[in-house]
Copies of this chain bind each other. A is one copy, B any other.
Amino acid sequence: MTEKRELDKRDWIAGLDKGIRIIEAFNDAHPRLTASTAARRTGITRTAARRYLRTLEHLGYVESDGQMFWLTPRVLRLGWSYFDSAKLPRAVQPYLQRIAVALGGATYYAVLDETDVVFVARDGSSQIQNVGFVLGARVSANLAAAGIAMLAYRPKEEVDAWLAGRKFVPYTQHTATTADAVRENIDNARVRGYALLEQQLAPSVRGIAVAIRKRDGTMVGSISVSLPMGTETSERAVARSLPYLREAEYALMSAF
């Protein structure tokens, strides 16, 4: 969350903002849009929305049957620009792989984007059950060990602001749904130097995460492992996982 420099009005390209809003108007509930519905969802006039959609169509980012518009896989190129340009996700891959093999779980490298944790690298499949995010997936930071580990390295005031006036949607019976409960998770992570979260997002899944910092101490992301809980105690899971996570943490510190 870098400080936003004040934006001069004359440095604002309205067309770019609108175009991006059009792209993001497509989602699960609205996989295909007409010009009119796209306009309604974005607050743009229908005529303008149509122009943007047709521009995107010409660029190959959307397709259309003349009536409906839908996104093409080409939009993935945009995300790909990030993967290509962000060196950490690449540097981290061998460590993820090693940890995944050693621990038998899915491992992730994740970063914070505002209030969400975004998983930008992954290795290992969870044989037992289908816990697992795909790359680029994002969830509210309080729901994943990766998020808690990173929040523990943000200033207290920021975390408080983050917690204030936030709804915590329960995903399982055990999801922490109060600000205090989430704060406790964060405080625990700060004290211990790692985050341990159980059954917040999915039942019988345990996450363990450590924050990754640069040499100067600034936090850049986190490495986490997702394990089926089974009969293993949390102490045991932490004991066997932490050495690998710590090793990656220190190694990546000098990778910068």
Contacts and interface: CB of A to CB of B under 8 A. Distances in A.
A168 interface: no
A84 to B, nearest CB: 4
Interface stretch (A16-24, A143-151, A152-160, A186-194): A16-24
Nearest to A121: B134
Contacts of A100: 125
A120 B134 CA distance: 10
A125 B123 contact: yes
A226 to B, nearest CB: 14
Contact of A71 (B60, B82, B94): B82
A161 to B, nearest CB: 17
Contacts of A66: 5
Interface stretch (A73-81, A202-210, A243-251): A73-81
Contact of A16 (B8, B19, B60, B136): B19
A109 to B, nearest CB: 11
Interface stretch (A111-119, A176-184, A211-219, A230-238): A111-119
A22 to B, nearest CB: 8
A53 to B, nearest CB: 9
B136 A31 contact: no
A58 B20 CA distance: 13
Which of A55, A81, A85: most chain B Cβ within 10 A? A81
Given A13-B19, A55-B12, A85 B71 contact: yes
Given A73-B111, A78-B79, A82-B71, A19 B15 contact: yes
B84 A26 contact: yes
Contacts of A55: 7, 11-13, 16-17
Contact of A79 (B50, B59, B75): B75
Interface in A94-146: 94, 97, 100-101, 111, 113-114, 118, 120-125, 127, 130, 134-138
14 contacts: A5-B64, A11-B51, A12-B51, A12-B54, A13-B19, A15-B15, A19-B20, A31-B86, A60-B113, A73-B120, A75-B81, A78-B78, A80-B137, A94-B130
Q: Which 7 A-B pairs have the closest CB atoms?
A: A15-B15, A79-B79, A16-B19, A31-B85, A76-B136, A26-B85, A27-B84
